[in-house]
Structure 1
Amino acid sequence: MPKVLGYGRISSGSQDVASQKAVLEKAGCAVVFTETGNGSKLDGRTQLETAIRLLDAGDELLAFSPDRIARDTADLLMVARRVVEKGAVLRVLEPPLKFDGTDIMAEMMLTLFGLIGRVEKHFIRARQARGIEARKAANGYHGRPPSIDPAEIRALRDKGLGASAIASQLKIGRASVYRLLGEEKQKA
């Protein structure tokens, strides 16, 4: 029996994916895969990858809107083709769209929605850059606050731990440890 798998995505942790999930479940999804992340790239989208991997012939991957899948024409079409290669169908609720690889109009619509997503991504970045420049002009922009405490890294180094062990314990990358320790050497 064919299954319907859902995919929902939000851009940031301050948003709530529950509304997408509820709509997708109401539309018949047996399972809804959700994740938080930037829609401008597919790298790291493990839940989308899992959903596609679990598709069988006759199944359906359902998303609320095209921009929840990707905000780029090439990425959106690549996902759609991967779904079709599995013998499944990609369906979008808003606007209603079904892509099975046989309808040139559906492919044209996906292409158009991918382009719209790309334009929207451009405007988002432009607004963000203007906001940063305005904050800099008002001496209010200092970048993202540090998420790693240099004192904690120093304390672990002083205990004799190497960069790999520090990175593992703090669940950060080794490059971050090397960078912070390197900055200390330059200040000394």
Structure 2
Amino acid sequence: RNGPVMRIGYTRVSTDKQTLFQSEEALRQAGCDKIFSDFAVSATAKKRPGLIEARAALKSGDTFVVLSIDRAFRSTIEGLTVLDELHKQGITFHSIWQNIDTTTPEGRKWFTYAVADAEYEKAVISRRTKLAMQAAKDRGVKFGRKTVMTPAKQRRASKLLTEGCSGCEIARKLDISRSTMFRYAREAELMAS
């Protein structure tokens, strides 16, 4: 290889910028020469540009460093496949929190357990979330953004429409976007027919 052996770090966080900073700092403390990140990317996302860049930066002799196995892999199959590819390229793997040495048979065994546990935990959390959301829906809880077109605005928009005002004019008077106004007009028309 050309150049020095490197420690390439990767982290993924779902939402919090502070957590991203802390994750990157932990990777720096672990001696990473370069760090790649995915911010606001879920564990199941197929597109993870930071991970793709990290993998592209790795060369034979390097070490791929993650905070935790669940931050890098979506499934047991993906984890095992990536680990196999890394080893074939002469790249070692290091998970800081699990502290697993995958160059040994025992380390690979514990890696397999850890990546399977991560996939299981993700599936259990997903199931709990779906059940909680369904229970909330059954109680009448509504999800998503609140509608801008309140009943009062709907009545006023209908009145202005019958008076011959244009959609743009009504949007301005009601302090709503034109797209909201036109969507409401379409829906109202459908409801009237």
Task: State the TM-score, normalized to the length of structure 1.
Answer: 0.71
Which consecutive unaligned segments of at least 5 residues does structure 1 have?
A: 156-179
**1:164 aligned partner:** none
Which consecutive unaligned segments of at least 5 residues does structure 2 have?
A: 148-175
The whole-number CA distance in structure 2 between the counterparts of 1:23 and 1:66 is 15
**1:142 aligned partner:** 143
**1:108 aligned partner:** 109
The whole-number CA distance in structure 2 between the counterparts of 1:86 and 1:153 is 54
Q: In structure 2, what residue type is equivalent to 1:50?
A: E
Q: Which residue of 62, 84, 91 maps to 2:94?
A: 91
Tell me how far 1:83 sits from its aligned partner.
Answer: 2.0
Tell me how far 1:16 sits from its aligned partner.
Answer: 2.0
**1:2-151 map, 5 Å:** 2-13=5-16, 16-36=19-39, 37-41=41-45, 43-100=46-103, 103-143=104-144, 151=178
Q: 1:44-92 deviations in whole A, cap 9, x for unaligned? A: 0111111111111111110011111114211111221222232211111
Q: In structure 2, what residue type is equivalent to 1:2?
A: V
What percent identity do the matched residue pairs reach?
Answer: 22
The whole-number CA distance in structure 2 between the counterparts of 1:89 and 1:139 is 52
Q: How many corresponding residue pairs? A: 156
For the residue of structure 2 that corresponds to 1:91, the secondary structure is: strand
CA distance 1:150–1:136, change in 2 (3 Å): farther
The whole-number CA distance in structure 2 between the counterparts of 1:66 and 1:59 is 18
Task: State the TM-score, normalized to the length of structure 2.
Answer: 0.70
Please tell me the root mean square deviation across aligned C-alpha atoms, in Å.
Answer: 2.8
Tell me how far 1:26 sits from its aligned partner.
Answer: 0.7
